[in-house]
Chain A
Amino acid sequence: MALDVATIKKDFPILERTVHDKRLVYLDSAASSQKPLSVLRAMDAYYETTNANVHRGVYAIAEEATRLYEKARTDVARFMGAGSAAEVVFTKNVTEAINLVAYSWGRTNLAAGDVVVLTEMEHHANLVPWLALKAERGIEIRYIPVDGQGFLDMTRLDEALDGAKLLGVTSVSNVLGTMNPIPRLAEAAHAAGALILVDGAQHAPHMPLDISALGCDFFGLTGHKMLGPTGIGVLWARADLLEAMPPFLCGGEMIRDVRLDGFSTNDVPWKFEAGTPPIAEAVGLSAAVEYLEALGMDEVREHERSLTAYALDALRGAHPDLVVHGPPAADDRGGVISLQYRDVHPHDLSQVLDQAGVCVRAGHHCAKPLMRRLGVSATARASFSVYNDEADVDVLVSALADADALFSL
């Protein structure tokens, strides 16, 4: 059943506000999504009725807080199709999830000359941790190129993977919208003896997720892009990998025993959760996952696919000289549209759109190598979520004409 966006919009209080006396048209969910009332209320209720540290006190509210925190882990595991909640490690975001892998798994398993394969479309979060390892110990990094339509060029995949220890790839590009063929990439990586790490930041909020079907070894997601709060993300990893990996951050929570001359680590996943975790944020993520599940992730995907198709048609129809980066068809992309409008710089475009109440992201989207590949310094990007509809797209399309009037060269 199609999403009832008019009803969904009412669940997001921020969409009732105005900016510059205009209705807020929020088209920047790829940067951070808005939050439904159920998430906000769950977090408030946690602080108002339950707040206590987890895994410590024996009193009633501490036990409740622990139960809510661990329920969030179970909810996320179910949402991801994970076999066990023990494979779900809470982190701050995807960036921390990938850093955890780079520091813990990477520094245990990668030496000078070892190969990590990435792609030209990676977000800095999946580039810089590996570039740091390259600088630190001389690993080799190879890149799968992006073709003219914004797809990964798979023609020399086996060559790139030959002898590699890890393939790191985004599931959905935050710039191009390209949905990468993760199961095929996972198969190729495993055939070459490599593990595969998937940046799922733009996947988890927008389409069904079944970790076992993807065939990956590491998968990161972040709460604030999937209707949840900031400050919480997830690293999912195969249990045997987590067992073998040394801890990343060290301190309280992650230990079994501490002596003056050493320590032993807690079981997974807590081995990787040093210090007091983001408890209220976990409660919020739990509510976000339940909200998305109630909508149905197949329905969410179909809504965003059809809205993207509508937007591509409307934009190209009204502005024939508009350049949209990435795959031409909505079937091949997530709800992300990066565009170049004549000679208008994305910053200026975004400034003009803001006056119409439209929020789009302008910049390099933390993907500077991809910007260079596209031959631009920046793009303006509109991105969709469950609360966007065709009326939002119509405002964007008409506001573009204002930029034309101001900046046409």
Chain B
Amino acid sequence: MPGLEDLYREIILDHYRSPRNRGELPTPPAHAETGFNPLCGDEITLYVQVDDGRLADVKLTGQGCSISQSSASMMSTAVKGLSVDEARAVIRRFKSMMSIHESRLDGGGEGDGGDEDAEAANVKLGDLEALQGVVKFPVRIKCATLAWNTLTQALDAVGASSQQPPG
């Protein structure tokens, strides 16, 4: 049976107590995207500044539980400075970690062998690996993925607007 120590790893509590990249960016030039978890009321607003296809700056505000807020904080440090494509690869890798079937948790197996999984498996998550224990608490997975889904929406929106003809 999973214990609280599987969920509340020290690095998670550290990001919860001292969130990184907290704040806002002027919009425009940055893009703001707000994500909600309708089940629990958690809320995150993500500010993404994309310059020349690179996430030049990432800031976030919002409120929520230790899992949603620490995941957002860790995500901001992980994707800041990456190209949009690299950031999307990190998102895929993280979401794949969050969807690992429980039966594989102890075996340490990774991925389903699909192309995207294989590619994503090469991405190093670093501190974010600490969130792996969340999958043992299925109701909390949505807490951990809130910021990531919001980032996907933000990148989609930035991509769509950059394809618009000027004017």
A407 to B4, CA, bound (A): 12
The listed residue (A363, A378, A406) touching B8 by CB distance below 8 A is A406
The listed residue (A346, A364, A409) touching B17 by CB distance below 8 A is A409
- Within 8 Å of chain B (Cβ to Cβ): is A355? yes
- Within 8 Å of chain A (Cβ to Cβ): is B7? yes
- A372 to chain B minimum Cβ distance, whole angstroms, is 10
- B78 to chain A minimum Cβ distance, whole angstroms, is 22
Q: From B39-47, B51-59, B86-94, B124-132, give the one contacting chain A.
A: B39-47
A63 to B16, CA, bound (A): 62
B41 touches A377 (CB 8 A): yes
Contact flag A377-B42 (CB < 8 Å), given A351-B140, A406-B4: yes
A377 to B63, CA, bound (A): 7
Tell me how many residue pairs across A and B have CB atoms closer than 8 Å.
48
A20 to B137, CA, bound (A): 13
A348 touches B65 (CB 8 A): yes
Query: For residue B41, which residues in chain A have a CB less than 8 angstroms away from its CB?
Result: 363-364, 368, 371, 377-378
B4 touches A377 (CB 8 A): no
Query: For residue A363, which residues in chain B have a CB less than 8 angstroms away from its CB?
Result: 39-41
Query: For residue B1, which residues in chain A have a CB less than 8 angstroms away from its CB?
Result: 20
B137 touches A345 (CB 8 A): no
A66 to B72, CA, bound (A): 57
Query: For residue B3, which residues in chain A have a CB less than 8 angstroms away from its CB?
Result: 355
Query: For residue B13, which residues in chain A have a CB less than 8 angstroms away from its CB?
Result: 406-407
CB proximity to A under 8 Å, residues B1-32 = 1, 3-4, 7-8, 13, 16-17
B8 touches A347 (CB 8 A): no
B43 touches A351 (CB 8 A): no
Query: For residue B40, which residues in chain A have a CB less than 8 angstroms away from its CB?
Result: 347, 362-364, 378
**Chain A interface residue number, banded:** 10 to 19
Nearest residue in A to B5 (C-beta to C-beta)?
A406
- Within 8 Å of chain A (Cβ to Cβ): is B143? yes
Query: For residue B143, which residues in chain A have a CB less than 8 angstroms away from its CB?
Result: 347
- Within 8 Å of chain A (Cβ to Cβ): is B81? no
Convert A348-368 into 0s and 1s, putting 1 for each residue whose CB lies closer than 8 angstroms to a CB of B: 100110010000001110001
The listed residue (B17, B43, B67) touching A377 by CB distance below 8 A is B43
A2 to B46, CA, bound (A): 55
- B7 to chain A minimum Cβ distance, whole angstroms, is 7
Convert A313-349 into 0s and 1s, putting 1 for each residue whose CB lies closer than 8 angstroms to a CB of B: 0000000000000000000000000000000011110
A48 to B64, CA, bound (A): 48
A377 touches B7 (CB 8 A): no
Query: For residue B39, which residues in chain A have a CB less than 8 angstroms away from its CB?
Result: 363
Convert A372-409 into 0s and 1s, putting 1 for each residue whose CB lies closer than 8 angstroms to a CB of B: 00000110000000000000000000000000001101
A393 to B63, CA, bound (A): 29
- Within 8 Å of chain A (Cβ to Cβ): is B66? yes
Query: For residue A362, which residues in chain B have a CB less than 8 angstroms away from its CB?
Result: 40
A347 touches B17 (CB 8 A): no
A362 to B68, CA, bound (A): 15
- A345 to chain B minimum Cβ distance, whole angstroms, is 4
Nearest residue in B to A349 (C-beta to C-beta)?
B65
Most B CB contacts (10 A, CB to CB) among A346, A347, A363 go to: A347
Contact flag A377-B66 (CB < 8 Å), given A347-B143, A409-B17: no
Nearest residue in B to A344 (C-beta to C-beta)?
B66
Most B CB contacts (10 A, CB to CB) among A348, A352, A364 go to: A348
Query: For residue A407, which residues in chain B have a CB less than 8 angstroms away from its CB?
Result: 13, 16, 66
Query: For residue A345, which residues in chain B have a CB less than 8 angstroms away from its CB?
Result: 64-66, 69
Nearest residue in A to B143 (C-beta to C-beta)?
A347
Query: For residue B65, which residues in chain A have a CB less than 8 angstroms away from its CB?
Result: 345-348
A345 to B13, CA, bound (A): 12
Most B CB contacts (10 A, CB to CB) among A351, A368, A406 go to: A351
A348 to B137, CA, bound (A): 12
Query: For residue B67, which residues in chain A have a CB less than 8 angstroms away from its CB?
Result: 347-348
- A360 to chain B minimum Cβ distance, whole angstroms, is 13
Nearest residue in B to A352 (C-beta to C-beta)?
B4
A388 to B41, CA, bound (A): 28
A371 to B63, CA, bound (A): 13
Query: For residue B69, which residues in chain A have a CB less than 8 angstroms away from its CB?
Result: 345
Q: Residues on A close to B: CB < 8 A?
A: 20, 345-348, 351-352, 355, 362-364, 368, 371, 377-378, 406-407, 409
Pull 12 A–B residue pairs with CB atoms less than 8 Å apart, ordered by A.
Answer: A345-B65, A345-B69, A347-B42, A347-B67, A347-B143, A348-B66, A368-B41, A371-B41, A377-B42, A406-B13, A407-B13, A407-B16
Q: Residues on B close to A: CB < 8 A?
A: 1, 3-4, 7-8, 13, 16-17, 39-43, 63-67, 69, 137, 140, 143
With A20-B1, A347-B42, A363-B39 given, can you name 12 additional A-B contacts, CB distance below 8 Å? A345-B65, A347-B40, A347-B65, A347-B143, A348-B67, A351-B4, A355-B4, A364-B40, A377-B42, A377-B63, A377-B64, A407-B16
